[in-house]
């Protein structure tokens, strides 16, 4: 009798251990799958993320992108075939994502990598505060800038101030690019009358 009870107890322990192993294996498999999904989302290109955010297959995206072939879209997204500038312009227009142009210049273009700063789309109030902060700083330092520029030479004691002003100008430049990007986004979203905007802009440009 004791032998039978011991056998049953041992079998029960084995079943319990096997169940725990199965749960552990499933848990690890699920964790591995989630990690792979996270890695996939992190490694996806900005082009594929924009397309997927719109819920478009590559075939449907091609209809928005002037008939671009799905195979070409896949190669651009995977990096197998780098996107050409004209294709980036088409995607920026088709996906209503003007920031793709800035991203391309900063990350893909050899010249842009050296001279272009990536611009992040922010709301108008933050952009305005950035611009005003830089303008106020430059205005407070304008006398020092005049002193530096007066003799046309940069002395040893002027280098640090020159670098500070240059960095502040770069911040102002980024804020201006942000405003331009924000304006373009409002236009493609239909929140700014594009026809009137372009007409006024053209008239003011010709007066310069």
Give, as one character, the DSSP assignment of residue 158. Answer: G
Residue 130 domain flag? yes
**pLDDT given at position 36:** 36
Q: Report pLDDT for 206.
A: 79
Structure tokens at 199: 């007409």
**10 Å Cβ neighbour count for 91?**
26
Report the distance separating Cα 111 and Cα 176, nearest Å: 20
Same-domain check for residues 59 and 70 = yes
Token pair in block for residue 54? 């719109």
Are 39 and 51 within one domain? no
Q: Does 112 fall in a domain? A: no
Number of independent structural domains in the chain? 3
- Residues 30 and 52 placed together within one structural domain of the fold: no
The sign of the torsion formed by the CA atoms of 159, 165, 169, 174 equals positive
138 and 189 share a domain?
yes
Same domain, yes or no: 54 and 36: no
Residue 116 located in a structural domain:
no
**Residue 102 falls within a domain, yes or no?**
no
194 belongs to a structural domain: yes
CA distances from 185 to 21, 55, 206 (A): 53, 19, 25
Owning domain of residue 35: 1-43
What is the chain's Cα-based Rg? 29
Q: Kindly report, residue by residue over 132-166, the tens digit of the pLDDT.
A: 999 999 999 989 989 888 888 999 999 999 999 99
Say yes or no: 130 and 166 in one domain: yes
Spans in the chain with pLDDT lower than 70: 1-43, 208
Q: What is the pLDDT of residue 117?
A: 86
Q: Is 106 part of any domain?
A: no
Q: Which is nearest to 48 in space by CA: 29, 76, 27?
A: 76
Q: Are residues 148 and 81 in the same domain?
A: no
In a domain, 113, yes or no: no
In this structure, the answer to whether residues 51 and 25 fall within a common structural domain is: no
The answer to the question of residue 141 being in a domain is yes
pTM of the model: 0.69
Same domain for 21 and 53? Answer: no
């Amino acid at each position: 009798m004791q032998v039978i009870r011991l056998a049953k107890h041992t079998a029960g322990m084995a079943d319990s251990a096997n169940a725990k192993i199965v749960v552990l294996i499933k848990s690890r498999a699920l964790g591995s799958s989630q990690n792979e999904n996270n890695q996939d989302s992190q490694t996806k290109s900005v082009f594929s993320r924009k397309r997927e955010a719109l819920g478009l297959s590559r075939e449907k995206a091609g209809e928005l992108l002037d008939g671009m072939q799905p195979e070409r879209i896949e190669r651009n997204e995977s990096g197998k075939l780098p996107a050409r500038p004209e294709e980036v312009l088409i995607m920026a227009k088709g996906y209503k994502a003007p920031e793709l142009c800035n991203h391309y210049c900063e990350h893909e273009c050899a010249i842009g990598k050296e001279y272009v700063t990536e611009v992040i789309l922010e709301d108008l109030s933050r952009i305005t505060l950035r611009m005003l902060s830089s303008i106020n700083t430059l205005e407070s330092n304008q006398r020092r800038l005049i002193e530096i520029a007066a003799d046309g030479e940069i002395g040893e004691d002027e280098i640090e101030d020159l670098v500070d002003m240059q960095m502040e100008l770069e911040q102002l430049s980024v804020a201006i690019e942000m405003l331009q990007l924000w304006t373009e986004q409002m236009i493609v979203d239909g929140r700014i009358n594009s026809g009137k905007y372009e007409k006024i802009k053209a008239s003011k440009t010709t007066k310069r």
